[in-house]
Chain A
Amino acid sequence: MYTLSSILVLFVFWLLLSGNFTAFLIAAGAGSAIGVVLLARRMEVVDHEGHPIHLSWRLVTYWPWLFKEIAKSAWGVTKIILNPRLPISPTLVRVPTSQKSTVGVVTYANCITLTPGTISVEVKEGEILVHALTRESADGLLEGEMDRRVTRFEGRR
């Protein structure tokens, strides 16, 4: 199942990047897609971690929310940068995680880093060490809305 969808995704990727729809190029694309997936199978990386296709439909609700959060926090950091007094209060904080799979924790850590004002520095069992630009952004993370969102995005397995 993961093999088939990987081949399909790679083939579509090839078609979109090439933009030439001659018989030879389409055949070459299909050939390369199959070849790459065969190699990947030998390396045993075609699984729910290397190719998390089961998450894709949840992106529909997750990404718009993520973009909103990014815009909001980027605007916050912009205001801090342009403020003549530079009102920063850097804080190191441990944020608990509630995700079950590694993909979920990685998504959460990436989500924290993507929103300006917070960086995940170190990931450990059940918690992430976060460097926050202000005390408020650290408190915002501890409220745990992002954690719940990512856990919902990860879903039950």
Chain B
Amino acid sequence: MSVFVDAVSWACLIAGGVFCVIGAVGLIRMPEFFTRIHAAGVTDTLGAGLILLGLMLQAGFTLVAVKLAMIGVLILFTSPTATHALAKAGLARGLKPLLAEDRSKPSNP
């Protein structure tokens, strides 16, 4: 493997790890339930995405890379679904989001 590809791959892996940690820090720093989900989103998307990309570059043009891409697509479809279910469950059980501004009222029947 060329040194260049290896370097890019490691840059992706390290950046992905850093974004995972940032997501975790956000999870702790945010004040309540709904805002914490937003912080976790960073880990879901950029963190996981960059790590997968880095691993794909390590694998090169092989079946392993294809499988990693499949994991990426799986995350792309499942993580918003899980996030939505979590947020909706919170709201349905009467958890009031801490809001700076509520623009949900006008068209509420």
Chain A residues at the B interface, C-beta cutoff of 8 Å: 16-17, 19, 67, 70-71, 74-75, 77-78, 80-82, 86, 88-94, 109-111, 113-117, 119-122, 127, 129, 131, 133, 135, 138
Residue pairs across A and B with Cβ atoms less than 8 A apart, 28 shown, are A16-B67, A17-B67, A67-B49, A70-B46, A70-B49, A74-B46, A77-B38, A81-B39, A82-B22, A88-B31, A89-B101, A91-B101, A92-B99, A92-B103, A93-B104, A109-B80, A113-B41, A116-B38, A116-B44, A116-B45, A117-B38, A117-B41, A119-B38, A119-B41, A119-B84, A129-B104, A131-B34, A131-B87
Q: Which residues of A contact B46 (CB under 8 A)?
A: 70-71, 74-75, 78, 116
Q: Does B100 belong to the interface (CB within 8 Å)? A: yes
A114 lies within 8 A of B79 (CB)? yes
B19 lies within 8 A of A113 (CB)? no
Q: Does B25 belong to the interface (CB within 8 Å)? A: yes
A119 lies within 8 A of B42 (CB)? no
Q: In the complex, what's the smallest C-beta–C-beta distance from A74 to chain B, in angstroms?
A: 4
Q: How many A-B residue pairs have CB under 8 A?
A: 121
Tell me the nearest residue of chain A to B76, going by C-beta: A114
Pick from B42, B70, B77, B106: contact of A81, CB below 8 A: B42
Please give me the 9 A-B residue pairs with the lowest Cβ-Cβ distance, nearest first. Answer: A116-B41, A113-B80, A81-B26, A89-B100, A92-B104, A74-B46, A110-B80, A133-B38, A93-B103
Tell me the nearest residue of chain A to B24, going by C-beta: A81
How far, in whole Å, are A131 and B6 apart by their CA atoms in the complex?
A: 40
Q: Which residues of B contact A75 (CB under 8 A)?
A: 46
Q: Which residues of A contact B107 (CB under 8 A)?
A: 94, 127
Chain B residues at the A interface, C-beta cutoff of 8 Å: 19, 22-23, 25-26, 29-31, 34-35, 37-39, 41-42, 44-46, 49, 63, 66-67, 70, 76-77, 79-81, 83-84, 87-88, 91, 97-104, 106-107
Q: In the complex, what's the smallest C-beta–C-beta distance from B6 to chain A, in angstroms?
A: 23
How far, in whole Å, are A91 and B99 apart by their CA atoms in the complex?
A: 6
Q: Which residues of A contact B99 (CB under 8 A)?
A: 90-92
Pick from A67, A74, A90: contact of B35, CB below 8 A: A90
Tell me the nearest residue of chain B to A84, going by C-beta: B29
Q: Which residues of A contact B106 (CB under 8 A)?
A: 94
B35 lies within 8 A of A88 (CB)? yes
Instruction: Name 14 extra pairs, CB < 8 A, besides A88-B31, A135-B101.
Output: A74-B19, A78-B46, A81-B26, A82-B25, A89-B100, A90-B97, A92-B103, A93-B104, A110-B80, A110-B81, A113-B41, A113-B83, A116-B41, A131-B34
